[in-house]
């Protein structure tokens, strides 16, 4: 911490330390996950939101996805889509519904909803059209 003031670098280090300290609570309270979520700060104070999910539970993004996926023309939760950059597992929907969260190689990414909808439609319906349009759909 520089000059006894908080900054984004210090906050990132603090988030990592908090996440590490929260890990023992997973077993104690039968949690699938517990992490420091959104944060806000000034130069002198900070606030973290703590987010958790029980074992076999779904986080808010997954619940939102399941509630809205059919109406939005999206594949079922946990569907694996084959993209030119690798397989993507669909895991959630943003609060606004504009972005779909997907995991690729263990990392969480945000994708435009329309891109996921297009990839799903092409993959499910016409494999040859799907293969030729992968790059254009991912750029959308």
pLDDT value at residue 84: 87
Enter the tokens of residue 88: 């993507």
Q: Residue 125: pLDDT above 90? A: no
List, in sequence order, every beta strand (DSSP E) within 27-98.
31-41, 46-54, 80-83, 86-93
Q: Is the confidence at residue 130, as pLDDT, over 70?
A: no
Q: What is the pLDDT of residues 17-44, one digit of tens each?
A: 999 999 999 999 999 889 898 899 999 9
Contact indicator for 62, 75 with CB cutoff of 8 Å: no
φ/ψ of residue 134, rounded to 5: -55, -50
For residues 40 and 21, what is the distance between their CA atoms, to the nearest angstrom? 20
What are the tens digits of pLDDT across the range 43-98? 999 999 998 888 888 888 999 999 999 999 899 999 999 988 899 999 999 999 99
Q: Is 138 helix (H, G, I), strand (E, B) or coil?
A: helix
Question: How many Cβ atoms are within 10 Å of 60's Cβ, its own excluded?
Answer: 12
Picking from 116, 87, 83, the residue whose alpha carbon sits closest to that of residue 99 is: 116
β-pairing, 31-41 vs 107-112, is unpaired
Tell me: pLDDT of 135 over 60: no
């Amino acid at each position: 911490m520089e000059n006894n003031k908080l900054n984004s670098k210090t906050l990132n280090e603090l988030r990592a330390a908090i996440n590490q300290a929260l890990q023992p609570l997973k077993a104690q309270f039968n949690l699938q996950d517990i992490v420091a979520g959104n944060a806000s700060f000034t130069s002198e104070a900070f606030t973290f939101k703590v987010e958790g999910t029980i074992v076999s539970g779904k986080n808010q993004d997954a619940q939102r996805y399941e509630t809205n996926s059919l109406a939005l023309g999206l594949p079922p939760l946990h569907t694996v889509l084959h993209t030119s950059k690798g397989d993507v597992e669909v895991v959630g929907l943003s609060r606004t519904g504009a972005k779909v969260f997907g995991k690729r190689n263990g990392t969480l990414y945000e994708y435009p909803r329309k891109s996921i909808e297009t990839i799903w439609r092409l993959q499910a319906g016409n494999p040859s059209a799907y293969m030729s349009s992968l790059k254009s759909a991912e750029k959308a």
